[in-house]
Amino acid sequence: MKIYLKIWRQKDAASKGKMVDYTMEGIEGDMSFLEMLDILNEELITKGEEPIEFDHDCREGICGTCSLQINGRPHGPDTMITACQLHMRSFNDGDTITIEPFRAKAFPVIKDLIIDRTAFDRIQQAGGFISVNTSGHTIDANSIPIEKEKADDSFYAAACIGCGACVAACKNASAMLFTSAKVSQFALLPQGRVEATDRVLNMVRQMDIEGFGNCTNTGACEVECPKGISLENIARMNREYLSASLKG
């Protein structure tokens, strides 16, 4: 396949970026999208140019590191996968592909396609935990039976990989899906109920401080989420937030 690429290049956070054109030939369908970029980078290095920097690590769709906006969509045209799981068979000979970093005020660009997502860490630090010390003397794991359906729902919320696709997909750059997934994981479990009030208030406050936008129920986040995190989590967080606000 012959592929035409338009890729965002930016020297560092302080510099202005721009789209740069590249053409690639001999691309095979079995190649992953990132392997295609590897080949492009090898070509650039051979020519003595600086390769394109992009974040990636596990290359199997679980670490949440990759953060590419491909043809205007987070993680590209396929659904329920991350960019590293995308294969070139999803494209046709002669296609033009644009590649940009995830765009959001709270995710500043570090270099080329690499962004700073530490805002997500700070939201988690504000309350995304259960306050239990490591002692080896917590109660036996089976002493509190948990309804299977609730445990499963908690798992589905916990499956969030923190990639930021939800923010990149949202016209308001809202982090509601991300934040609500963590709030939900704990809200659905008896262990998490004890601190539910403070948790939701603190995490939402931090989300606002970081400069993420509000949720206007468009649902683009759910569509683009590589792990299928449901909008129900946002509804649950709103409910948790309301009842916490009344208590507080």
Partner 1 sequence: MGILDSKVPKGPLADKWTQHKNDIDLVNPANKRNIDIIVVGTGLAGGSAAATLAELGYNVKTFCYQDSPRRAHSIAAQGGINASKNYQGDGDSDYRLFYDTIKGGDYRSREANVYRLAEVSGNIIDQCVAQGVPFAREYGGLLDNRSFGGVLVSRTFYAKGQTGQQLLLGAYSAMNRQIQRGKIRSYTRHEMLDLVKVDGKARGIIARNLVTGEIERHSAHAVVIASGGYGNLFFLSTYCMGANVMAAWRTHRRGAFFANPCFTQIHPTCIPVSGEHQSKLTLMSESLRNDGRIWVPKKLEDAKAIREGKLKPTELKEEDRDYYLERRYPAFGNLVPRDVASRAAKERCDAGYGVNKTGEAVYLDFAAAIKRYGTEKAYTSGIKDPDADTVRQLGEEIIEAKYGNLFQMYEKIVDQNPYKTPMMIYPAVHYTMGGLWVDYNLQTTVPGCYSVGESNFSDHGANRLGASALMQGLADGYFVLPYTIGDYLSDDIRTGKIPTDSPEFEEAEKHVTERINKLMSGKGLHSVDYYHKKLGKIMWDKCGMSRNEKGLKEAIKEIAALRKDFWENVKVTGEANSKNQELEKAGRVADFLEIGELFAKDALERKESCGGHFREEYQTPEGEALRDDKNFKYVAAWEYKGEPKDAKLHKEDLVYENIELKTRSYK
- Exactly one of 131, 217, 246, 248 binds partner 1 (CB under 8 A); which one? 131
- Exactly one of 6, 71, 98, 158 binds partner 1 (CB under 8 A); which one? 158
Beta bridge pairs of residue 32: 87
In the chain, the amino acid numbered 185 is: Q
208 binds partner 1 (CB under 8 A): no
Cβ 216 to partner 1, closest distance in Å? 27
Segment 62-121, which members bind partner 1 (CB under 8 A)?
A: 62-65, 78, 80-81, 85, 87, 89, 110-111, 114, 116-118, 120-121
User: How far is it, in rounded angstroms, from Cα 221 to Cα 232?
Assistant: 12
User: How far is it, in rounded angstroms, from Cα 209 to Cα 54?
Assistant: 27
Cβ 105 to partner 1, closest distance in Å? 18
- Exactly one of 148, 171, 217, 248 binds partner 1 (CB under 8 A); which one? 148
User: How far is it, in rounded angstroms, from Cα 142 to Cα 30?
Assistant: 45
Segment 29-68, which members bind partner 1 (CB under 8 A)?
A: 29-32, 34-35, 38-39, 42, 44-46, 48-51, 53, 55-65
| Contact (Cβ atoms closer than 8 angstroms) between residue 52 and residue 9 | yes
The C-alpha torsion from 232 through 74 and 105 to 130, rounded to 10°, is 40
Binding region for partner 1 (CB under 8 A) out of 68-76, 158-166, 168-176, 240-248 = 158-166
Tokens of 91: 């494209």
Segment 12-31, which members bind partner 1 (CB under 8 A)?
A: 12, 28-31
Q: Which residues, 6 or more positions from 151, have their beta carbon under 8 angstroms from its beta carbon?
A: 188, 189
Which string of DSSP letters, residue by residue, matches 202-239?
Answer: HHHHHHHHTT-B---S--HHHHH-TT---THHHHHHHH
C-beta closer to partner 1: residue 130 or 214: 130
- Residue count, binding to partner 1 (CB under 8 A): 79
Binding region for partner 1 (CB under 8 A) out of 17-25, 141-149, 169-177, 209-217 = 141-149
